[in-house]
Amino acid sequence: MEHLRHVLPFVARYRKRLLLGLLCAAGSAALTALIPQILRTVVDELNAHGVVAADLIRAGGLMLLFALVDSLFRFGQRRFVAGGAYLVEYDIRGALFRRLLTLDQGFYGNAHTGDLMTRVTNDLSAVRQFLGPGINSLMTAVLFISTAGTLLVRTNGTLALLVLALLPIITLLFVTIGGRMQRIFRSVQDQFGDISTRAQENFSGIRTIKAYAQEEDEIRVFLEENERYRAQNVRYVLLSGLLWPAIAVVMGLISALVLLVGGRFVASGTMTLGDLVLFNTYLALLSWPMVNLGWTVNLYQQASASMGRIAEVLHRQPAITSPAEAPAQLAIGGAIEFRNVGIRFDHALAAEHRTLTATGSRPTIEEPPSHADRPAAEGWVLRHISFTVPRGSSLAIVGATGVGKTTLVNLLARVRDPDEGQVLIDGHDIRTLPLDELRHAIGYVPQDTFLFSVPLRENVTFGRPDASQADVDRAAEIARLSNDLNQFPDGLDTLIGERGVTLSGGQKQRTAIARAVLRDPAILVLDDALSSVDTHTAAQILAGLRDVMQERTSIIIAQRIATVKDADRVIVLHNGQIAERGTHRELVQQGGRYAAMYRRELLEAELTEE
C-alpha cells in the first residue's frame, strides 16, 4: 500500500504549489464557514423584527464580498493543487517513456503492448486523480470540517456533538458501498472482457464457423454470455443504485434530528432561530466534504495499486547498456568476428516471437508460445559459432526457418547479448563499445519491416534526419524505391500507415533498405530483406548495394540463393551449428544442403517462367 512513496520525488518539485493550494484551501474554508454566521444574525434580527433595510443591505454586501473572495480562493486552490497534479502526471509520463526507450528486447519480449499502454495511460491517470481531485477534496474536507465543527460546538454543544457523531456515517457508507462497488465492477468488467473475447474469436474464426454452419449456435452462446454479463450488472446496480439514495437518506435523517432536537431548543429558548438555520446551512455544506473523504480513501487505494505498476516499469533496469567507461573509440571500421558464440533458447524465442508479433500496429496480447513445438527450454539455439567477416567483405547466412539466423545477427547491434562467447568489431568486444556508437555504425534492415505512420520521407531519413535531398534521392534510387514514387499521391511526402497509404510488402522492404542505406553505415545487415521484392528488382538492388558497399561490411540473410550467391562467403546454419561454409561455388560443388536448395530454386524459376 505504500507504493505511493514512489510518487514523492515527483511531487517534491511542486511543494510550493501544494503549499499555496493549502493556504487557499484554508482561506476558503474560513470564509465558507463565515457566510452562514451572517445569515444567522440576519435571521435572528428578522425574527425579532429588530432590523431595518439598511442592515439587510449591509449584511448582504458583506456576504457577497465574502463569497467573492471565497470564489477566488477556490479558484486558486484548484489551480494550484489540481494543476500541480497535471504537472506531476506530465513528469511521470515523460519519465516512463524515457525508461521505455532504454529497455531491451528481453523486456519487450515478455511485456504485452496493451499492458504497457495501460500503465502509461490508465494507471497514471489513477495516480493523478488522487493527487489532484483527491488531495484537493482532502484539504477542503479536513479544513472545513474542523472549522465548521468548532463553530457548531461553540453555538450549541449538544446539537453539535449529535451532528458530528452522525456525519462520519456518510464517509463510512461511501467507503464500504464504494469499495464493494469497485470489486463487483471488476467482475462486471471481466465478464465484459469475456463478451468481447467471444465476439473477437467469432469474427476472427468466422471461416470455420461458417464452414460448419455454426452461426445459430454461436448466437445462442453469445446470448448466454450476454445474459451472464447482464446478471453481473444487475448485481452491480443493486449496490450502485443504493449509494446516493442511502447517503441522501442519512443526510436527511441528520437534518430531521437537528430539526427535532434544535427545534425543541429554540422553542424552549436555549437557542435562537438563527442558530437552527445556521446548523441547517452547515449541514448542507458539510455533506460534500464528508462524501469526498470517502471518495479520497477509494482514490488512494486505486492510486497506490497503480503507482506500484508504474514503478515496476520506472525502476526496471535495462539489460543492454552502454559500458560505464567506454574507450575513446575511433570510427568503427567493420571487421566482425563471432568467437565461440552460444545462445540459449528461451531468450531467443522471446525476442524472435516479439518480431513476429510486431508487424501489426494493433497491440497484440499474445500468450507465450506453447512448449510443445520447441526443444527443452534449457537447450541452445546456437552454440560454438565462430566466423569472421573482414572489413569490406560480405557474408551470407542461410538455413531453415527457425534455425536462429535472425537471433544470430541480432547480436551484432546488441539487440541481445550472447549467453556464451564474444562478438567483436575491429577486435573490440562490442559490449565494451558505447552502445549508440555501435548502433550508429550499423544499417539494419529487419525481417519484419516496421515503418512508422509518418510521411515516407521521414521513414527513409529515420536514421539520419539531417540527410540532404541528394542523399535521400540516392538511397531511394539504390533501394529502387524511386520507381514507385509516382504511384504515391505526394511522392516522398506521402503519409503512410493506417491514416495514409498502405504500402505493399515489397515497397515496405525497399523503404527499409533505403532507410538503412541512407545511414551510410560501416556494417549493413539485411535480414531476409528482399523476400517480398521480385527477383528482377532484387537483383538490381543487390547490384546497387555492391557499389555502395565496396568499403563496407555486409551480412545478408536470405531464403533465395540468387540473393546470396555473390557474397564473399556463405555459412549454412543447421541444428544449432554452422553446417557448411565457403563460397557459393564451393558449396554447390560440395553437394550438401546448400546445393540442394540451389537445385530446387532453379527448378522453381523454370516453372514460374511460363
Near other proteins in 25-44, by CB under 8 A: 35, 39, 42-43
Pick one of 5, 9, 15, 117: the residue that binds other proteins (CB under 8 A): 117
Q: Is 469 in the site for other proteins (CB under 8 A)?
A: no
Minimum distance, C-beta of residue 2 to other proteins, in the bound complex (Å): 27
Pick one of 12, 19, 165, 267: the residue that binds other proteins (CB under 8 A): 267
Minimum distance, C-beta of residue 301 to other proteins, in the bound complex (Å): 20
Report the C-alpha gap between 442 and 458 in whole angstroms. 19
Neighbours of 403 (CB within 10 A): 20
- Among positions 497-526, residues that touch other proteins (CB under 8 A) are 501-502, 504, 515, 519
Pick one of 9, 60, 168, 179: the residue that binds other proteins (CB under 8 A): 60
- Closest CB to other proteins among residues 325, 606: 606
Q: At 185, which helix (H) or strand (E)?
A: helix 168-204
Select the span of 308-316, 340-348, 468-476, 602-610 touching other proteins (CB under 8 A): 602-610
Beta strands in 302-379 (DSSP E): 336-344
Q: Is 327 in the site for other proteins (CB under 8 A)?
A: no
Cβ proximity of 508 and 449 under 8 Å: yes
- Closest CB to other proteins among residues 150, 196: 196
Pick one of 30, 37, 113, 329: the residue that binds other proteins (CB under 8 A): 113
Which burial class, exposed, middle or buried, applies to 121 when counting CB atoms under 10 A from its CB (0-12, 13-18, 19+)? exposed
Pick one of 324, 465, 466, 536: the residue that binds other proteins (CB under 8 A): 465
Matching residue, cell 519480449: 109
Select the span of 7-15, 96-104, 138-146, 150-158 touching other proteins (CB under 8 A): 96-104
Report the C-alpha gap between 331 and 308 in whole angstroms. 43
- Among positions 392-421, residues that touch other proteins (CB under 8 A) are 400-402, 413, 415
Pick one of 185, 222, 300, 387: the residue that binds other proteins (CB under 8 A): 222
Dihedral pair phi/psi, residue 580, rounded to 5°: -140, 150
Q: Is 233 in the site for other proteins (CB under 8 A)?
A: yes
* Sheet of strand 420-425: strand arrangement: 380-389, 336-344, 420-425, 428-429
The distance of Cα 340 from the centroid of its chain, to the nearest Å, equals: 38
Residues that bind other proteins (rule: CB under 8 A) add up to a total of: 156
Minimum distance, C-beta of residue 182 to other proteins, in the bound complex (Å): 16
Side-chain-side CA neighbours of 483 within 13 Å: the count stands at: 10
- Among positions 167-186, residues that touch other proteins (CB under 8 A) are none
Q: Is 607 in the site for other proteins (CB under 8 A)?
A: yes
Strand partners for 395: 555, 569
- Among positions 269-298, residues that touch other proteins (CB under 8 A) are 269, 273, 276-277, 280-281, 284
Minimum distance, C-beta of residue 56 to other proteins, in the bound complex (Å): 5
Pick one of 1, 2, 8, 49: the residue that binds other proteins (CB under 8 A): 49
In degrees to the nearest 10, what's the CA dihedral of 185, 186, 187, 192? 90
Minimum distance, C-beta of residue 274 to other proteins, in the bound complex (Å): 10
Report the C-alpha gap between 572 and 554 in whole angstroms. 16
Report the C-alpha gap between 195 and 74 in whole angstroms. 44
Dihedral sign (CA 349, 351, 354, 358): negative
- Closest CB to other proteins among residues 216, 378: 216
The CA distances from residue 398 to 442, 528, 549, 557, 572, in Å, are 20, 10, 20, 6, 5
Select the span of 6-14, 198-206, 322-330, 531-539 touching other proteins (CB under 8 A): 198-206
* Of 45, 275, 268, 272, residue with least CA distance to 160: 275
Pick one of 5, 75, 110, 165: the residue that binds other proteins (CB under 8 A): 75
Q: Is 268 in the site for other proteins (CB under 8 A)?
A: yes
Report the C-alpha gap between 34 and 67 in whole angstroms. 10
Minimum distance, C-beta of residue 543 to other proteins, in the bound complex (Å): 25
Minimum distance, C-beta of residue 422 to other proteins, in the bound complex (Å): 20
Minimum distance, C-beta of residue 60 to other proteins, in the bound complex (Å): 4
| No. of helices (H) and no. of strands (E), the chain | 23, 10
Q: Is 234 in the site for other proteins (CB under 8 A)?
A: yes
Minimum distance, C-beta of residue 121 to other proteins, in the bound complex (Å): 6
* Of 535, 487, 485, 536, residue with least CA distance to 511: 485
Select the span of 152-160, 196-204, 330-338, 526-534 touching other proteins (CB under 8 A): 196-204
